[in-house]
């Protein structure tokens, strides 16, 4: 008989070779989480900010976050996109509380320091002091230069109407960051057409943020957990599919082409979620119309590490922004969009298919649920580990989806950057 | 003259009964009964206040016919894996905005509490109902019910109708 394992063993060491066995403490340890914020969100990586269509006019702004740091995206008077940190250069107040709007300048309410939309400090009240009884009182020291006290400006990349930013001005160019393979899929979705915003969904999921990346790097579950997908052939293990990663294995694309669905096959044998006799009463829920830009695949799910997922599930397209807030929770913000050349019918179709996704989605609601319950499992015995060995131990691209290769890929990269 | 006073007493009573019966049905998991509060060509939406006020058409759930409501009920019973929970609605007094040609426009505030097994009761979703109601077979039914919610972050997911 082996020893009963210690549940809260320290220090935390990754005990196995490779990345197929993921220790539960990777999801539960507060120090690891803080290190992730520093190394994955605040340094060396690009994070999702939003869509240019959210700030169409000069003066428009949108408040969002990178990791846990509040930032503001603005469109300045020259029409350019800027991202600044939402911390006043004076005494640190988070000055922007509205989530969107239009302003000519950014003003901190506390002492009225005001900044241009690019983040430059324009003026400081009482800079030259206040005259009283023939004498000037106070004021800023002579050496004070407004140029030294702008807002923290981030490095910004825009492509195809999507905005990314980084606190790290040394970060590699955005195109290199994605790598040629993933960039190709990115350009397929964001091919230069103007985007139209259909709206937002916001949910708080009580689980570690990496679980959401894993969920969309996991083609094992959709055909099992999601009855909807299986039955209508939207996502089944026998669909024609490919899994692709960048050279670092941090980003991925799951590419799938819808099968015929319906009939019983090997992959649905014994799968309790498969309902052969299920039929939607209102067919508009699965009224799928192929679009030219698809070039084949009916579903293409992209995980851009660490902050965002780009979704094409048939006619429903969205961005899903991961906003961590603690080791055991993240906010998940969905932005559904369409394209400027959509007919009213196509817009309506995208909106109806949106019923499958989001916090109440016929399909996606259960993803949030299993993430919450996974976190429960991790918290109860952090010294244990997950097994991601479907399809072996390697990190490789595949032409099928019966594998957890993308999850192994992400942890291969994670171990390197986190040095664990 | 105030719209509410223009509505006859029986209509007000019927409306209160509709609101009460609806809440009782969705709080006791009678999903098949829930569907019957609607006319065939109905609309039921759960939409964030943000989208509603900014004119974005997206809803968290947008069911556009009684058949789609039935599809949702099937989903709740058969396809949507979820952590089981109870829900409890507290619905405020309805305000009748209009009562004309047999169509009532009304609204009411609501708060929904969620209780998970072995868990505490928490505020789950808070907002207001915007309703269009018409009489059918002697009963008041929803032509449309919009649940416009203030709740900024949905606590994970919404499975059951609000
Ligand atoms: S803290 Fe912003 S102006 Fe003083
Ligand atoms: Fe899923």
Residue A412 token pair: 């291969």
What backbone torsions phi and psi does residue B58 show, to the nearest 5 degrees? -65, 135
* Residues B80 and A222: beta-carbon distance below 8 Å: no
Query: What is the structure's pLDDT at B6?
Result: 63
β-pairing, B154-155 vs A195-205, is parallel
Query: What is the structure's pLDDT at A239?
Result: 81
Nearest-by-Cβ selection for A365 from B63, B70, B159: B159
According to DSSP H, which parts of A331-383 are helical?
A: 344-353, 365-380
Residue B32 burial (CB < 10 Å; 0-12/13-18/19+)? exposed
Query: What is the structure's pLDDT at A259?
Result: 74
Reported confidence tier of residue A393, pLDDT bands at 50, 70, 90: very high
Tokens 């949106």 label which residue? Answer: A354
Domain boundaries, chain B: 2-149
Residue B47 token pair: 């939409």
Query: What is the structure's pLDDT at B1?
Result: 41
Please indicate whether, in this complex, the C-beta atoms of A198 and B58 are within 8 angstroms of each other: yes
A1: pLDDT strictly greater than 60? no
Q: Which ligand is nearest to the CA of A113?
A: 1
Q: Which tens digits make up the pLDDT trace of A105-154? A: 999 999 999 999 999 999 999 999 999 999 999 999 999 999 999 999 99
Give the separation between CA B155 and CA B162, rounded to whole angstroms: 14
Residue whose C-alpha is closest to residue A347's, from B42, B58, B51: B58
3 state SS of B11: helix
Query: What is the structure's pLDDT at A238?
Result: 77
Nearest CA to ligand 1 atom 3: A111
Nearest-by-Cβ selection for B60 from A204, A282, A358: A358
What is the overall mean pLDDT for chain A? 94
Give the separation between CA A38 and CA A29, rounded to whole angstroms: 15
Residue whose C-alpha is closest to residue A273's, from A239, A311, A301, A235: A235
Secondary structure E strands in A99-239: 100-102, 106-107, 114-115, 121-123, 130-132, 135-137, 155-159, 162-166, 195-205
Query: What is the structure's pLDDT at B4?
Result: 46
Q: What b/e sequence results for A123-155 when a residue is b if at least 16 CB atoms lie within 10 Å of its CB, and e otherwise?
A: ebeeeeeeeeeeeeeeeeeeeeebeebbbebbb
Query: What is the structure's pLDDT at A397?
Result: 98
Contacts of A291 (CB under 8 A, 6+ apart): A315
Query: What is the structure's pLDDT at B28?
Result: 98
Ligand 1 pocket, Cβ-based, cut-off 6 angstroms: A 88, 90-91, 93, 95, 108, 110-111, 113
Q: Which ligand is nearest to the CA of A225?
A: 2
Give the separation between CA A299 and CA A225, rounded to whole angstroms: 17
Query: What is the structure's pLDDT at A224?
Result: 87
Model confidence pTM above 0.80 = yes
Please indicate whether, in this complex, the C-beta atoms of B79 and A275 are within 8 angstroms of each other: yes
CATH number of B2-149: 3.10.450.50
Residue A417 token pair: 């950057």
Query: What is the structure's pLDDT at A272?
Result: 65
Contacts of B38 (CB under 8 A, 6+ apart): B44, B66, B69, B141, B142, B143, B145
Residue A336 token pair: 């559904």
* Residues A405 and A395: beta-carbon distance below 8 Å: yes
Q: Which tens digits make up the pLDDT trace of B86-125? A: 999 999 999 999 999 999 999 999 999 999 999 999 999 9
* Residues A322 and A332: beta-carbon distance below 8 Å: yes
Q: Which tens digits make up the pLDDT trace of B36-73? A: 999 999 999 999 999 999 999 999 999 999 999 999 99
Query: What is the structure's pLDDT at A236?
Result: 73
Tell me which DSSP letter residue B136 carries. E
Q: Which tens digits make up the pLDDT trace of A336-379? A: 999 999 999 999 999 999 999 999 999 889 999 999 999 999 99
In this prediction the ipTM stands at 0.95
Note whether A287 contacts B: Cβ–Cβ < 8 A.
Answer: no
Q: Which tens digits make up the pLDDT trace of B112-122? A: 999 999 999 99
Domains delineated in chain A: 47-156 (2.102.10.10), 179-418 (3.90.380.10)
Give the separation between CA A360 and CA B124, rounded to whole angstroms: 13
Closest residue in A to B156 (Cα–Cα): A205
Please indicate whether, in this complex, the C-beta atoms of B58 and A359 are within 8 angstroms of each other: no
Give the separation between CA B31 and CA B21, rounded to whole angstroms: 12
Query: What is the structure's pLDDT at A261?
Result: 57
Residue A288 token pair: 């799928």
Atom of ligand 1 nearest to the CA of A113: 3
Residue B111 token pair: 């708060």
Q: How far is CA A154 from the centre of its chain?
A: 18
Residue B138 burial (CB < 10 Å; 0-12/13-18/19+)? exposed
Query: What is the structure's pLDDT at B79?
Result: 86
Contacts of A311 in chain B (CB under 8 A): none
Give the pLDDT mean for A222-251.
86
Q: Which tens digits make up the pLDDT trace of A2-54? A: 688 899 999 999 999 999 999 999 999 999 999 999 999 999 999 999 999 99
Nearest CA to ligand 1 atom 1: A91
Give the pLDDT mean for A97-101.
97
β-pairing, A299-304 vs A252-257, is antiparallel
Q: How far is the CA of A88 from the centre of ligand 1 (A)?
A: 6
Reported confidence tier of residue A260, pLDDT bands at 50, 70, 90: low
Please indicate whether, in this complex, the C-beta atoms of A225 and B58 are within 8 angstroms of each other: no
Give the pLDDT mean for A391-412.
97
Contacts of A360 in chain B (CB under 8 A): 46, 60-61, 154, 157-159
Suggest the residue from A202, A334, A365 to mutate for an interface test with chain B (most B CBs closer than 10 A): A365
Residue whose C-alpha is closest to residue B77's, from A275, A359, A262: A275
Suggest the residue from B81, B116, B118 to mutate for an interface test with chain A (most A CBs closer than 10 A): B81
């Amino acid at each position: 008989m082996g020893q009963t394992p210690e549940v809260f063993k320290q220090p935390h060491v990754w005990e196995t070779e490779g990345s197929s066995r993921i220790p539960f403490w990777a999801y539960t340890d507060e120090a690891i989480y803080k290190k992730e914020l520093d190394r994955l969100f605040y340094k060396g990586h690009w994070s999702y900010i939003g869509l240019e269509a959210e700030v169409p006019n000069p003066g428009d702004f949108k408040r969002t976050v990178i990791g846990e740091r509040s930032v503001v995206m603005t469109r300045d008077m020259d029409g350019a996109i800027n991202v600044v940190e939402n911390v006043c250069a004076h005494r640190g107040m988070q000055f922007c509380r509205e989530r969107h709007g239009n302003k000519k300048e950014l003003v901190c309410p506390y002492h009225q320091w005001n900044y241009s939309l690019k983040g430059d400090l324009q003026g400081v009240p009482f800079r030259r002091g206040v005259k009283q009884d023939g004498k000037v009182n106070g004021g800023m020291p002579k050496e004070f230069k407004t140029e030294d006290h702008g807002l923290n400006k981030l490095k910004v990349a825009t492509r195809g109407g999507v905005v990314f930013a980084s606190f790290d001005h040394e970060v590699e160019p955005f195109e290199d960051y994605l790598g040629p393979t993933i960039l190709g899929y990115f350009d397929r979705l964001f091919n230069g057409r103007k985007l139209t915003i259909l709206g937002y969904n916001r949910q708080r999921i009580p689980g570690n943020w990496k679980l959401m990346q894993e969920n969309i790097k996991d083609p094992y579950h959709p055909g099992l957990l999601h009855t909807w997908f299986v039955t209508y052939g939207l996502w089944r293990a026998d669909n024609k599919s490919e899994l692709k990663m960048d050279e670092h294995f941090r980003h991925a694309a799951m590419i799938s082409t819808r099968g015929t669905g319906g009939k019983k096959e090997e992959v649905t044998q014994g799968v309790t979620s498969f309902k052969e006799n299920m039929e939607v009463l209102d067919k508009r829920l699965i009224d799928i119309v192929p679009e030219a830009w698809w070039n084949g695949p009916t579903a293409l799910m992209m995980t851009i590490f660490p902050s965002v997922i780009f979704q094409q599930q048939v006619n429903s397209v969205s961005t899903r922004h991961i906003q961590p807030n603690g080791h055991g929770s993240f906010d998940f913000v969905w932005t559904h969009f369409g394209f400027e050349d959509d007919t009213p019918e196509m817009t309506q179709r995208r909106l109806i298919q949106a019923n499958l996704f989001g916090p109440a989605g016929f399909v996606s609601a259960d993803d949030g649920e299993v993430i919450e319950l996974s976190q429960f499992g991790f918290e109860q015995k952090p010294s244990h580990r997950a097994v991601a060995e479907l399809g072996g131990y390697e990190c490789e691209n595949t032409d099928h989806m019966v594998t957890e290769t993308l999850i192994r890929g992400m942890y291969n990269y994670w171990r390197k950057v986190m040095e664990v | 003259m105030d719209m509410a006073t223009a509505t006859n007493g029986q209509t007000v009573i019927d409306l209160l009964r509709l609101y009460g019966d609806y809440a009782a049905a969705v709080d006791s998991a009678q999903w098949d009964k829930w569907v019957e509060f609607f006319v065939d060509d109905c609309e039921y939406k759960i939409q964030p206040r943000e989208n509603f006020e900014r004119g974005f058409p997206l809803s968290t759930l947008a069911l556009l016919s009684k058949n789609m409501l039935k599809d949702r009920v099937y989903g709740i019973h058969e396809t949507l894996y979820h952590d089981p929970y109870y829900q409890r609605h507290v619905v405020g007094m309805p305000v009748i905005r209009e009562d004309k040609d047999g169509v009532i426009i009304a609204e009411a505030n609501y708060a929904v509490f969620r209780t998970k097994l072995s868990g505490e009761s928490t505020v789950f979703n808070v907002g207001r109902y915007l309703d269009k109601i018409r009489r059918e077979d002697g009963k008041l039914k929803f032509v449309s019910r919009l649940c416009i919610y203030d709740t900024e972050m949905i606590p994970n997911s919404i499975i059951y109708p609000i």
